[in-house]
Amino acid sequence: MQAVQALAFSSWNNAVYSAAGDRIATTRLDARAPAEPVRVSGKITQVHVHPQDPRLIALEIDHMDYQVHLYDTREGGFRRKPWLEFGYRAAPPKPRDASAGRPADAGNAFMPKQGSRYIRGSTVNSLFARGYGDGAVLVWDYRDGGKKRFQFQRPSAVVHTVLAGSDVIAYGGYSVTFWSMLSGG
């Protein structure tokens, strides 16, 4: 009964994953009836079909500590607890300059809220990367229980993060930042 906020397509099972609020539906394109949505533990802001293993679905959730939830569709899909959860508690927003009505740091003009649907991470191989409103960008590894492998820092909020080979690319605040995971920064 809510507006769809996130979509992803999987060519492996010819299905569309649609998320509205704290519910996600898996609808096969050849289905005769719509799929029943399943409730998860928080508002879903993004859905990712893993590019190398489309049976793995990553959900970005509006949660204070665990913004990334991984589900294996072979293990009961979304009706079960995610097989892996990880995330980062971002630093609180900078105090506002009362006279100007904006954050004290004018270089950080856009500060998205923690669970904003505009923040988007990226997954490739065994890694997931995501940026945050405090400028932090983290890269986790699925193979080691979601252990943090890299952490980078920008002076402004991050809205979109992309894994491209061994590079991490982050966008936000009218600029793009590149880091190499080969050199650690």
Shared-domain flag, residues 7 and 68: yes
Residue 105: pLDDT band with limits 50, 70, 90: very low
Find the range with the poorest average confidence among 13-17, 28-32, 107-111: 107-111
Q: How far apart are CA 164 and CA 156, in angstroms?
A: 21
Q: Is 106's pLDDT higher than 50? A: no
Per the model's pLDDT, the better-predicted residue between 167 and 106 turns out to be 167
Output the pLDDT for position 109. 47
Does pTM top 0.75 for this prediction?
yes
- Residue range of the domain that includes 126: 111-184
Domain boundary among 87, 102, 124: 87
Q: How far apart are CA 65 and CA 43, in angstroms?
A: 13
Burial class of residue 117 (count of CB atoms within 10 Å of its CB; 0-12, 13-18, 19+)? middle
Q: Is 102 within the bounds of a domain? A: no
Output the pLDDT for position 52. 94
Task: Domain count for the chain, please give it.
Answer: 2
Question: Hunting for tokens 């943090």 — which residue is that?
Answer: 148
Reduced to 3 states, what is the DSSP secondary structure of residue 78?
helix
Shared-domain flag, residues 83 and 25: yes
Distances (CA, A) of 29 to 50, 70, 84: 19, 23, 28
Q: How far apart are CA 22 and CA 35, in angstroms?
A: 15
Shared-domain flag, residues 118 and 65: no
Q: How far apart are CA 57 and CA 71, in angstroms?
A: 5
Q: Is 92 within the bounds of a domain? A: no
Q: Which residues pair with 176 in a beta bridge?
A: 171
